[in-house]
Amino acid sequence: MAHATFPVEVLTPEGEVFNGEVEMISTRTVVGTIGILANHQPIMTMLDPTELRLYKSENDILRFAQGAGYLQMTENHALLLVQDAIPAEDLDVADLEAQLDDARTRHDSAAEGSGERARAARDVRRAEAFLAVAKND
Tens of pLDDT, residue by residue over 46-91, are: 999 999 999 999 899 999 999 999 999 999 999 999 999 999 999 9
Does any domain span residue 1?
A: no
Please, which pLDDT band fits residue 22 given cuts at 50, 70 and 90? very high
Task: Judge contact between 45 and 32, C-beta under 8 A.
Answer: no
Same domain, 76 and 116: no
Percentage of the chain exceeding pLDDT 90: 95
pLDDT surpassing 70 at residue 31:
yes
Shared-domain flag, residues 26 and 77? yes
The answer to whether 7 and 40 have CB atoms below 8 angstroms apart is no
Same domain, 37 and 104: no
- Number of structural domains in the chain: 2
The sign of the CA dihedral 54, 100, 11, 70 is positive
- Judge contact between 8 and 85, C-beta under 8 A: no
pLDDT, residue 114, reads 93
- pLDDT category of residue 1 using cuts at 50, 70 and 90: low
CA separation for the pair 137, 131 (Å, rounded): 10
15 and 72 part of one domain: yes
Check pLDDT > 80 for residue 137.
no
Angle of the 115-135 helix axis to the 93-109 helix axis, nearest 10:
160
pLDDT at 136: 84
Pairing of strands 50-55, 61-66: antiparallel
Residues 49 and 79 in one domain: yes
pTM metric for this prediction: 0.91
Assign 3 a pLDDT band (cuts: 50, 70, 90).
Answer: confident
